[in-house]
């Protein structure tokens, strides 16, 4: 009986210990679950707060973007208005410069005949007598007595080829010649300006293959002959006379210069520039790298002999091109960042241009800077190459004053 009692007491004790153990385990698990629930509630509150702040931020961002868009629209309208006003000012400047051109740098003559001496006389007989005297003096000094006074109109013909090149028309015919680029052995011939304007490119033209490469956009067409610059690495500068009718080189002349300096500071590809006018053939060149001025040579178009050389006193720096009219050199200047081209310096070989008669003439603002300017004495027009555009400037002239 006694062992049975001991067994019952031991069993009851064991059951009581297990009950306490499991109760403690349940309490622990319940506490852990409560802690997890608290953490989840905290995460939920934080997420809700972040979501609210994100919505507020999106709202503020949208309002700021709307304000920036409105400011951008207002600024764009202001810029458009400013562009219109700038264009209007440029047109007004072109008009004012055409009407009243300021001075340019020109060689002042030693002797000056006052302009009043060439005014109108009261009687018809005196007018005829004065005209006869004018013609007599004119024949002694020069066959051409015109000076550039302004640009009458501008015609943008088309855009074809490279940013730099040259095109011109033969003064003795209607044929047009295109030099695409600043070097090569191909010249493209069109029958007229209209044919060139209506052509899709240069493929429909007659292609002339030269026996040697031309160097720079400084070629010239004169009396059915092409004159171009040939310059090789180990030789001096050469002027080549090419017959466009027979497709044959008729003459080559060596032009001795001390260096390969470019004649225009803004167009280093132009090693020399040939020009033709009423008085013949001219060559603009740089005597050396250290020489700051542009030099001018009068050449015999038949033999390529050098007849006379002048220092024009027109600086090479910031020069982009030049042309010759009636023995007067007009040098066109610009800036490194292409702006409005302008004739700022001229030189007359006959000393017939007064400084107050020489206009500081501006070209209308177009695309970039002129790579070449070629004068046609028959039409009194300039054939220009401007950033790949072929442009015609129609000029207005007036008489020089005799000195």
| Main-chain phi, psi angles of 387, to 5 degrees | 55, 40
Measured over the CA atoms of residue 269, residue 339, residue 283 and residue 252, the dihedral's sign is positive
**Residue-wise DSSP of 208-246:** EEEEEEEESS--EEETTEEEEEE--TTS-EEEEEEETTT
Is the domain of 125 the same as that of 84?
no
Residue 299 near residue 282 (C-beta atoms within 8 A)? yes
Is the domain of 81 the same as that of 116?
no
Q: For residue 110, is pLDDT > 70?
A: no
Is the domain of 56 the same as that of 201?
no
Q: In the chain, how many domains are there?
A: 2
Token reading at 325:
């009219």
The region of weakest confidence among 9-13, 248-252, 299-303 is 9-13
Q: How far is CA 201 from the centre of its chain?
A: 21
Average pLDDT of the residues in 286-308:
91
Residue 236's pLDDT is 75
Is the domain of 32 the same as that of 169?
no
Cα gap 40→51, rounded to integer Å: 16
* Strand order across the beta sheet in which 361-362 lies: 319-325, 328-333, 342-348, 361-362
In this predicted model, what pLDDT tens digit does every residue of 302-348 receive, in sequence order? 999 999 999 999 999 999 999 999 999 999 998 888 778 899 888 99
Average pLDDT of the residues in 235-249:
89
Residue 146's pLDDT is 84
Total residues belonging to the chain: 403
Is the domain of 206 the same as that of 284?
yes
Q: Identify the DSSP state of 203.
A: T
Of 223, 276, 222, 274, the C-alpha closest to 253 is 274
Average pLDDT, the chain: 81
- Tokens 């090569």 found at: 184
Is the domain of 58 the same as that of 194?
no
**Residue-wise DSSP of 126-177:** HHHHHHHHHHHHHHHH-S--EEEEEEEEEEEEEE-S-SSEEEEE-TTSS-EE
Is the domain of 362 the same as that of 258?
yes
Is the domain of 245 the same as that of 363?
yes
Residue 348 near residue 328 (C-beta atoms within 8 A)? yes
Query: What CATH number is associated with residue 289?
Result: 2.40.128.630
Token reading at 314:
């027109």
| Percent over 90 (pLDDT), the chain | 37
Residue 189's pLDDT is 94
Q: Which domain holds residue 231?
A: 104-399
Is the domain of 27 the same as that of 44?
yes
**Residue-wise DSSP of 40-96:** HHHHHHHHHHHHHHHHHHHHHHHHHHHHHHHHHHHHHHHHHHHHHHHHHHHHHHHHH
**Residue-wise DSSP of 103-130:** B-B-PPPSS---GGGGS--SSHHHHHHH
Cα gap 149→357, rounded to integer Å: 9
Is the domain of 148 the same as that of 289?
yes
Is the domain of 73 the same as that of 113?
no
Contacts of 9 (CB under 8 A, 6+ apart): none
Residue 188 near residue 177 (C-beta atoms within 8 A)? yes
Has this prediction a pTM greater than 0.85? no
């Amino acid at each position: 009986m006694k062992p049975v009692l001991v067994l019952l007491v031991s069993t009851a004790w064991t059951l009581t210990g297990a009950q306490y153990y499991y109760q403690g385990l349940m309490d622990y698990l319940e506490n852990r679950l409560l802690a997890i629930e608290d953490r989840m509630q905290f995460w939920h509150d934080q997420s809700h707060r972040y979501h609210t702040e994100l919505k507020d931020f999106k709202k503020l961002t949208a309002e700021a973007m709307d304000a920036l868009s409105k400011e951008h629209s207002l600024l764009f309208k202001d810029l458009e208005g400013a562009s219109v006003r700038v264009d209007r000012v440029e047109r007004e400047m072109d008009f004012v410069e055409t009407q009243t051109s300021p001075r340019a740098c020109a060689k002042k003559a030693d002797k000056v005949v006052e302009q009043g001496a060439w005014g109108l006389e009261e009687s018809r007989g005196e007018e005829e007598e004065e005209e006869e005297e004018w013609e007599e003096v004119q024949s002694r000094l020069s066959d051409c007595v015109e000076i550039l006074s302004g640009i009458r109109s501008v015609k943008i013909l088309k855009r074809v080829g490279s940013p730099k090149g040259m095109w011109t028309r033969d003064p003795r015919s209607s044929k047009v010649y295109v030099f695409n680029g600043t070097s090569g052995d191909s010249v493209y011939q069109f029958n007229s300006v209209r044919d060139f304007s209506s052509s899709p490119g240069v493929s429909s033209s007659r292609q002339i293959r030269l026996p040697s490469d031309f160097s720079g956009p400084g070629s010239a067409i004169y009396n059915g002959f092409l004159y171009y610059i040939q310059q090789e690495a180990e030789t001096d500068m050469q002027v080549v006379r090419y017959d466009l009718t027979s497709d044959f080189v008729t003459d080559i002349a060596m032009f001795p210069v001390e260096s390969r300096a470019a004649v225009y500071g803004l167009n280093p590809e132009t090693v020399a520039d040939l020009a033709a006018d009423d008085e013949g053939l001219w060559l603009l060149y740089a005597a050396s790298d250290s020489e700051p001025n542009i030099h001018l040579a009068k050449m015999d178009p038949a033999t390529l002999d050098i007849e006379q050389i002048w220092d024009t006193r027109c600086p090479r720096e910031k020069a982009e091109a030049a042309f010759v009219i009636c023995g007067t050199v007009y040098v066109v200047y610009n800036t490194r960042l292409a702006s409005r081209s302008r004739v700022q310096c001229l030189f007359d070989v006959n000393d017939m241009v007064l400084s107050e008669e020489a206009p500081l003439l501006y070209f209308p603002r177009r695309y970039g800077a002129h790579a070449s300017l070629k004068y046609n004495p028959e039409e009194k027009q300039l054939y220009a190459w401007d950033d790949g555009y072929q442009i015609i400037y129609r000029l207005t002239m007036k008489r020089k004053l005799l000195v």
